[in-house]
Amino acid sequence: MKKRVLAAVCMAAMAVTACSGGAEGEGAQAGGKQKLVLSTYGLSEDISAEEVYAPFEEQFNCQIVTETGGTNDRYTKLKADSETTIDVIELSQAMAAKGAEEGLFETIDLSKIEHASDLIAAAKTLADNGQGVPYTINSIGIMYNPEAVGFEITGFDDLWKPELAGMVSIPEITTTAMVYMASDHAGVDIKTDNGEAAFKALEELKPNLVKTYAKSSDLINMFTSGEVAAAVVGDFGVPTIKAANPDLVYVTPEGTYANFNTISITKNCQNKELAYEYLNYRLSAELQSKTGKALNEAPTNKTVTFTEEESQNMTYGPAAEKAKVLDYGFVNPLLNQWIDQWNRIINN
């Protein structure tokens, strides 16, 4: 795991009081500047440094220290270190919910975040549930070969049609939206039966399944070889898949399933005031407009506007407003049971 300090040019060094209970915490200042330790993803670091961190450092006369890595590794490190220096952590929606359950994070006071009032409905629901503050959204849709399929696919229910026998691929159980999707196909609220109807529906889907996949690159090969004609895909993978197979069509069904990247403040945060400023900054329309274009991060701020071309591979506009929120507070305790059922039904 890498650690790097990003410093903005500031007019003068000044002593700043750390905002953890009004006491100055060790590591909360660096060279007279406030310091914020951010645990985040290691993707597009140079772009993030220029577009995200540097303007914040300049505005707040601070330094951002980044610790980068995969979601699971960073979460495990945070959980294992009771003396962690991490102030703010960016995680997947599922891990943010897990961390909230395990008491690793501060309860976020949304009244302290001006731009929280601009969150799309699905993101606001998640934030209100105490499962992190969502700063970008993605969702699932259906990629298909219209010539091979022979009809227009418009919704997830189409995947069960007998015309698609032996033609469909879906992601592995790690994408738990598959269980929600199957439960909705069965017409059952998943929380009423803990997914029982969903797995019966998945068993009914099995004749249509070629195989499941774990990586977009696997799916590219399956489409290219003609092994599959339709697949459930995360919108973030669409550009690469279409680049390899330009004739494919991607559709985002109404009522798709949202997945968010979130920001949480740790219990051990040494500078909570600056952490709240960072959360507010991340939700601002100005920044989300920039990160949408530079990092392909779909905005959670409903006041951000993109052209059709700019947003073609994003969960944006009506699709984002209508997206269904997965409740990982409900999912996580059931996940091991679901994985066992999945393996017996789908992978057997």
* Section 321-341 average pLDDT: 92
pLDDT(23) > 70: no
pLDDT(308) > 80: yes
Q: Where are the alpha helices (DSSP H) in 132-261?
A: 146-149, 177-186, 190-193, 196-205, 216-225, 238-244
The pTM of this model reads 0.79
Q: Are 20 and 35 in contact (CB under 8 A)?
A: no
Of the two residues 21 and 163, the one the predictor is more confident about is 163
Q: How confident is the model at residue 6 (pLDDT cuts 50, 70, 90)?
A: very low
Q: Are 171 and 213 in contact (CB under 8 A)?
A: yes
pLDDT score, position 235: 87
Lowest mean pLDDT among 1-5, 20-24, 40-44, 124-128: 20-24
DSSP 8-state symbol, 83: T
pLDDT score, position 31: 61
Of the two residues 26 and 170, the one the predictor is more confident about is 170
pLDDT(292) > 80: yes
Of the two residues 119 and 236, the one the predictor is more confident about is 119
Q: Are 146 and 152 in contact (CB under 8 A)?
A: yes
pLDDT score, position 12: 34
Q: How far apart are CA 286 and CA 284, in angstroms?
A: 5
Q: Above pLDDT 90, what percent of the chain?
A: 73
* Section 280-296 average pLDDT: 95
Q: How confident is the model at residue 9 (pLDDT cuts 50, 70, 90)?
A: very low
pLDDT score, position 27: 44
pLDDT score, position 240: 87
